[in-house]
Homo-oligomer: A and B are copies of this chain.
């Protein structure tokens, strides 16, 4: 296992210490390393957004804590859910009097713990609402959307909900904005090679030298098919065919696009993919507004990429343009 590691069982804590030490201007961690909030939390009168999940997906989830996105995060071990206690601690640390939105990817462990934390928070008089992101089209059919996993498209939901919250909107409206984004975002990914989990030394999946996993999840969950390596054009067309159909996109629609690297895929290759995305949508007369290319949701060093598409209305377009300032994501 070639990794920058000391004791593998301390991997998450040591990494979090590094994050907090490097970014003490923007992030704060009071007692528990697994509870990290933006340095100016709680922001009085603003709806706070809490998120969380397993570690190993940077910038998901910790990297989304900051102005314009989320207010706080609870961090689990690699690929495993944080505790309800950590979620409650985040909730209390970020609550600025206007309620808290729990916004996270749709996984059983996270749901269970966030739901429990919500109950406990309500007992303490904090208003809590929840939106789960279910953007992974490969994980269930569209008529079972609530069973779909949350993957890279969560970025867009943070962006829209975060911008809405920064605008001073009340909890109900921030929740609605998040739901609207979650309803209109779709993602599908392709895995080239797995990652190794530090604590176990095990890889997340096995795959032949000339094969890809189509529709892979961010923990290496199997997708819809194994296929031989194709050209960039073929891979992008395959993903966009699924995404466009699922979103019911038609000529004249406006979308934003995220071409996301899952860990070890070079940025140079992601831009080859983006060129294909651009050509594909141009041909369909679908307009790309404000594309994003880079690592927005990773699985340690998994090689591969995903494409997320967000179908836009004017409100979402405005929210996409507002500033973001976290140690990992910056926009203005």
Contacts and interface: CB of A to CB of B under 8 A. Distances in A.
Interface of A: 1-6, 11-12, 14-19, 21-22, 55-56, 58-59, 192-193, 195, 209, 212, 229, 231-233, 235, 263-275, 278, 291, 293, 295, 298, 300-301, 303, 305, 325, 328, 330-332
Counting from the closest, the 4 A-B pairs by CB-CB distance are: A264-B264, A18-B271, A18-B275, A330-B330
A276 to B, nearest CB: 8
Given A2-B212, A4-B265, 15 more contacts: A2-B192, A2-B193, A2-B229, A2-B303, A5-B272, A14-B271, A14-B272, A15-B268, A18-B275, A21-B274, A56-B266, A56-B268, A267-B295, A267-B328, A268-B300
Contacts of A195: 266
Nearest to A3: B269
Contacts of A56: 266, 268
Contacts of A11: 268, 272
A159 B191 CA distance: 36
B233 A15 contact: no
Contacts of A325: 332
A301 B303 contact: yes
A278 B22 CA distance: 8
B303 A15 contact: no
From A192, A193, A267, A295, residue with most partner B Cβ within 10 Å: A267
Given A17-B275, A18-B271, A21-B278, A232 B266 contact: no
A272 B15 contact: yes
A70 to B, nearest CB: 17
Number of copies: 2
A19 B331 CA distance: 17
B303 A266 contact: no
B266 A58 contact: yes
A277 to B, nearest CB: 8
Given A291-B22, A330-B331, A269 B232 contact: no
A4 B300 contact: no
B264 A18 contact: no
A252 B47 CA distance: 43
Nearest to A234: B6
Given A4-B269, A193-B2, A291-B22, A232 B264 contact: no
Contacts of A295: 267
Contacts of A263: 264, 266
A224 to B, nearest CB: 19
Nearest to A4: B269
Nearest to A332: B332
Contacts of A231: 5-6
Nearest to A78: B268
Contacts of A293: 18, 22
A75 B296 CA distance: 26
A14 B232 contact: yes
Q: Which of A21, A330, A332 has its CB near the most chain B CB atoms (within 10 A)?
A: A21
A201 B267 CA distance: 18
